[in-house]
Amino acid sequence: MHDLNADWSAPLRWLRRLPFASSIGHTIRIYQVDEAAMRAVANADSTGSVDLAAWLTAQGRPGAALEVLAGPPPSGAVGMAWTQARMEAFLALGRIDDAVALASPAGNHDLVTFIEHLRLESRGLPWSQRPDWYRHAIFDVLLKRELTVECEALAWRALGQTATREDGVGDMDAWLALLRLRVQRARPSADPRRHPPDLLAGLPRIKTYSFTLLSARPIDLSVADRAARCSLLTKLGNDSLALAELGTLLIDDPSNQGAAWQYGTLVVKRKYTPGGYEWPDVVWRIR
């Protein structure tokens, strides 16, 4: 299933080539995909072979993907996509050096960063000796690839190898990665006013005020701080938790237009998000 109103990421680009089997409403389409269907549409245009190769790699068949991409690359933008698909296939096969040989500064930045990460990890280079651009980008790249275990382990290692700054944190990128993981894994409690999870528990304490809102009970915060906390939860990737807390905020302050706007935005966003999430299990009563 894929939400047609969402951005079509490159890994799912090939899906647009196929007819959908059925639909749900006006926004959801259901596809049935197999190799025969993919090969049948692979010659439709200049990027067909690239899409077929990407699909084969995603199915755990990177060797077959390289066979599809045999020969010299095309020119222009198609050639860049072709090279990127070959790099992904090489990575899936564990052939890091072959992927490095294809890497270009003008290529996909996230992919280049990930390849650099694998190369640096294989060398065991200390965090402080890694390039600044890499240290700023790698956690976001690992999270995009859903490599959460690797991201968390690297972040803790980075914090352990850097000196503490004035704000109480050694490496801010690493700390933010751990916080994002903590926030995204959190689930709303039955009483979001009084029993939210302490999202900073176990993390190095930070002195930045906005982040300290994530360790407080909403009932102990001002209305403005509760709204700011919900905005922060949304930015860090947990709409469900933000929606639950905004609901109780509006019960306590029904005329709060800013909170009402945030709440309505999240309700609409939930409708058009692939997969969505369950409505928060909240006791909707006035205190």
Position 116 in a domain: yes
> Model pTM?
0.81
Q: What percent of the chain has pLDDT over 90?
A: 45
Domain range enclosing 270: 188-287
- Radius of gyration, alpha carbons of the chain: 23
Task: Report the number of distinct structural domains present in the chain.
Answer: 3
Same domain, 25 and 84: yes
Of 63, 93, 123, the residue that ends a domain is: 93
Q: What is the pLDDT of residue 281?
A: 57
Position 131 in a domain: yes
- CA dist list (Å): 45 to 33, 48, 52, 126, 277: 19, 5, 12, 46, 37
Report the chain's mean pLDDT, rounded to a whole number. Answer: 85
pLDDT in tens, 194-226: 888 889 988 988 877 789 899 999 999 999 999
Position 246 in a domain: yes
User: Is residue 171 within 8 Å of 162, Cβ to Cβ?
Assistant: yes
User: Is residue 36 within 8 Å of 42, Cβ to Cβ?
Assistant: no
